[in-house]
Amino acid sequence: MQEKVSAGQLASIIILFQIGSSSLFLLASDAKHDAWISVLIAMLMGLVMLIFVTMPIQAKAPQASLIEILNRYFGKYLGFILGLSFVGYFIYKSVRNVREFGDLVILYMLPRSSLDVIMLVLMCVGAYAIFHGLEVFFRVGQLVLPWLLVIYIVLFVLLFASDLVDFKRLLPLLEEGWKPVWDAAIPEVISFPFGEMVVFLMFWKHLAPFDKFKKFSLISYTCSGLFIVLTNVLIITVLGDISGAYVVPFMFSTSLIQIGGFLERMDPFVSLLLFGGVFFKQATYYLAAVLAASELFKVKHRTMVIPVGVAIFIGARLFRSYIEQIRVGFDYNLKLHFPIFQIVLPIILVLLMIITHWIKRKRKKKEKEKEKDPVSNPPSNE
């Protein structure tokens, strides 16, 4: 029996997935104090992709996952190859989140801890949730989201109460014109985080009732996107143009909070946001890889939890350092690899689906015309 999730659970996971850890960093930092404009542009372009490419794929095959759709429209062999490549994509995206979490925990919280142990703890928690199925994972997301949002809201209020926020740091707008803003937004910020909604092609078919998937996906995407824009605005208004110099600028911003000489050191709360955000991001990709692999090899999803988990852990261990992981991510993945899976292949797929459906409609129309046309179908003389 197919597992089902509610609209509220879907919306919760989309918000947690989109926000992830991206709200803790300054996205599009090359645009300096105009970075928030780059993020807004990327969000809107990601919304266009979602409305005209990603969701139409699911709408044309409502009861199918991405793997089933690829097999149906690309054929058995090419569909299998493309499906396997998406499994690799999902695994690699989880790899990056696991390694990023491990490196940041050592850098900011537990400098003497073992990287392997930290990553293994995150992987084990994710594996436990995924082993119990999609329904359990989505319910956990619905329970956790309100608490993370409360922490964010409290930190926002404390930033304003500490008189750290200065909106003059956003000025002058577009000081160096539109080019730096566009260059920072495309394709980097579209690739991360706004182009990543393609992963939900593995989950949308489980929504009950299915006809609400567009409404709740759009609402949750828009809310999370605007939230990321807001956090980028706050980072800039607190730190100004030097925001990009910090590895986790939101954490440094909250470390400046001082109220009444006793309310300070908000690092533990930011650590909770980091763990919660990264956990749901990597676990969503982990779950997608498990479901995709189980469909490809026609086995139960629980059978693939350990093999996929081992692949993620080994992949995370292959990076020699945090700097290498960042360099590979920005120089190659965001600009070259991720757009293939997030933009190019989905566009090809939706065009193929449109053409295929158009051909089928045309054939049916011709068959109906032949049935009605007495000339082409003369009556029998018997």
Note the pLDDT tens digit of each residue in 10-65. Answer: 999 999 999 988 888 888 888 889 999 999 999 999 999 999 999 999 999 999 99
Q: Tell me: the pLDDT tens digits for 219-272? A: 999 999 999 999 999 999 999 888 888 888 998 888 888 887 667 778 788 888
Compare 63 and 323 and report the one with higher pLDDT.
63
Mean pLDDT score across all residues of the chain: 89
pLDDT at residue 259 in the model = 81
Question: In this predicted structure, which of 293-307, 309-323, 328-342, 363-377 has the lowest mean pLDDT?
Answer: 363-377
The amino acid that residue 260 corresponds to is G
Task: Please report the pLDDT score of residue 377 as a whole number.
Answer: 55
Find all residues with CB under 8 Å of 89, minimum gap 6, and list them: 338, 341
Give the mean pLDDT of 136-152.
94
| pLDDT interval class at 365 (50, 70, 90) | confident
* Alpha-carbon span 318 to 310, nearest angstrom: 12
Q: Is the pLDDT of residue 374 over 70?
A: no
- pLDDT tens, residue by residue, 120-129: 999 999 999 9
In 3D space, the residue among 229, 221, 217 whose CA is nearest the CA of residue 185 turns out to be 229
pTM for the whole thing?
0.92
- Comparing 1-15, 94-108, 356-370, the range with the smallest average pLDDT is 356-370
Q: What is the pLDDT of residues 341-363, one digit of tens each?
A: 999 999 999 999 999 989 988 88
- What backbone phi and psi angles, to 5 degrees, belong to 259? -130, 120
Q: Quick one: pLDDT at residue 222? A: 96
Q: Which residues pair with 207 in a beta bridge?
A: 5
Percent of the chain with pLDDT over 90: 62
Residue 280: which of 142, 180, 78, 112 has the closest Cα?
142
> Is the confidence at residue 381, as pLDDT, over 60?
no
Query: In the prediction, which pLDDT does 328 show?
Result: 79
7-368 maps to which CATH number? 1.20.1740.10
Domain ranges of the chain: 7-368
